[in-house]
Chain A
Amino acid sequence: MKPAGSRPQNLRALQRLMHRAILRPLAPGDRTQRRWTDGRTAREMAESFVKANDRLTALERLEIYNRMYWFRILDCLYDDYPGLRAALGPRRFHRLAVAYLTRHPSRSFTLRNLGSRLEAFIRRQPRWTAPHTALAAELARFEWAQTVAFDEAARPVVTAAELAKVAAGRIRLALQPYVTLLAVRHPVDAYVRAVKERDALRTEASNAAGRSRVSARLRRVARPRPERGWLAVHRVDNRLYYKRLEPAAYRMLAALRDGRTLEQAVARGGRAVTAEQVRTWFELWTQLGWICRRK
């Protein structure tokens, strides 16, 4: 037993120590690391503030919280990133997730935001995903966009009729906060859809008698080959959708998103875009409710 002087003496000190212990990554076998950061044994550290009882040591009691923390947040990333998990395989995904969550523990009251910095982390630390870093980063961004599309705010839409009344050089529009535009080098939309269909089939198959018949379809979904694409991840009637865009349409929407005037946005489409195309696209985008006024 350590002398009382080494114990945390107040609420803040106790919470800081326990917090550090809980957030520390688990050792192999999902156990608490046996050595504490200051060279003491983890057992000594735990005994400095946690009581043992007749069944569990102080470290074993602390370990319950350490394990629950990691199981909870890893589960959350597993659920939110099925495409990325499939592309990397379970072991590499696990290593990536632990590295990411160690570097970026949750700074939000809600687990919804846990993956908000995953794409940037993947690009900054490519060793966790190499040689598939570009694909992994695009999948992380695409799957985060789905979280955004699911529950981000919607602002009052601008209708086609309202658009027609305003001089194009003056009006500044915006994209709905729940719409994310993506320029990608892999067909991540088709890939994630295939993974989800495979996962759904696995769930069905787990209850099916004739399992052998579906086994061929339960195999790993092949990673997508490079193929450029332009996507909008959005919602309609509160259902998620991915929409493929023409490159010119993507450029126009990106210009609106970035605060350009309507006139400037149309110009970004390029000379090859006809007035008829512009009219058709804006009709569609206003019908989908993507366009709103800039705040």
Chain B
Amino acid sequence: MPANPFNSHTDYGIGIGLRVPHYRHILERKPVVDWFEIISENFLVGGGRPLEVLDSILEQYRVVQHGVSLYFGSTDRPDREHLRRLKALVRRTGTPWLSDHLCWGSVDGTYTHDLLPMPYTFEAARRTAAKIRMVRDFLEVPICVENVSSYAEFHLSEMTEWEFLSEVVERADCGILLDVNNIYVSSRNHGFNPYDYVDGIPAHRVGQMHIAGHTKFEKYILDTHDHPVLDPVWKLYAHATRRCGVTATLLEWDDRIPSFQEVHREALKANAFIAEARAAGPIRAGRPAGKSPARRTGAPA
């Protein structure tokens, strides 16, 4: 299922994040790349160099918007001015879908600029799903929500992270941006099996995947995006590809960024795992879409 309603039925292949150190190379050499993912917030500006670069990229390449500040899980109401500007950018880029994170990060209009983990509660799922629906209806573009890496868990939680993700996307009827590296990082930090996570989400909703590098410390792993993808993450990616189908995939490399060629080469390694997944065939594990925690526990919808 490479294309589905949650990515506008597009089949985008393997992309990389558009980052400032690569601007010159991309604009001058025009390398062949399936697509670029842009951070929406970097282009929510009035003018100048950012929009000039974006327009040049749009002449040559397909672009997908990825955001870091919608904070679907914050109890704050969405900022209408922010949404209005985001909608103008959606029109400008023609992004087939828009992604942001299943997290919170602001309280009463004050921002942490971080992707903070949710308590996995039914109350949080209900509020988050309502916000996703509202944003989607305003922006008029399919939404995919991304699982974040996390370093803390809460007493309030009533379910696992993958049950929470499933609950939110089913209630919101939206897509998933499955960040395989984030699953791995969180699995090590919280002691769960990352394969249970991949097997536990509604595969038909996965519209995009992320892969990235991380950094290991003595007592935890940090999602740093400053390394090549590590082997356990590639293995999990191969499994996720078998489970969800060949899906638009994006390599994130945001710190200590090497040359464009090195980043692109790293991203294209995904092809080997895609071929492997194709040869192995799909995993026929039971689809959990009809087994969301709300239905199992009888909690109010």
Contacts and interface: CB of A to CB of B under 8 A. Distances in A.
Contact of B119 (A11, A153, A177): A11
A108 B116 contact: no
Could you say which interface size class chain B belongs to?
35 or more
A63 B41 CA distance: 27
Interface residues of A, number: 50
B113 A111 contact: yes
A15 B116 CA distance: 9
Interface string A101-142: 000011111111000000000000000000000000000000
A178 B47 contact: yes
A65 B112 CA distance: 10
A14 B152 contact: no
A15 B107 contact: yes
A200 interface: no
B286 interface: no
B127 A11 contact: yes
B288 interface: no
A30 interface: no
B219 A56 contact: yes
Contacts of B50: 150-151
B77 interface: no
Given A14-B154, A15-B104, A65 B109 contact: no
Nearest to B68: A109
Contact of A49 (B46, B154, B189): B154
Interface string A231-257: 000010011000000000000000000
Interface string B113-153: 11010010101100100000000000000000000000111
A154 B47 contact: yes
B298 interface: no
Contacts of A22: 112, 114, 116
A16 B107 contact: yes
B221 to A, nearest CB: 11
Given A61-B151, A151-B48, A72 B110 contact: no
Contacts of A212: none
A109 B69 contact: yes
A152 B45 CA distance: 6
A11 B45 contact: no
Interface string B179-202: 000000000011100000000000
B152 A50 contact: yes
A69 B112 contact: yes
Given A10-B123, A109-B79, A23 B47 contact: no
B74 A15 contact: yes
Interface string A184-202: 0000000000000000000
Contacts of B10: none
Contacts of A239: 49
B44 interface: yes
Interface string B254-293: 0000000000000000000000000000000000000000
Interface of A: 7-12, 14-16, 18-19, 22-23, 48-51, 53-56, 58, 60-62, 64-65, 68-69, 72-73, 105-112, 149-154, 177-178, 235, 238-239
Interface of B: 41, 44-52, 69, 73-75, 79, 82, 104, 106-114, 116, 119, 121, 123-124, 127, 151-156, 189-191, 219-220, 222
Given A11-B156, A53-B153, 9 more contacts: A8-B156, A15-B75, A22-B116, A23-B112, A50-B154, A51-B154, A51-B155, A109-B79, A149-B48
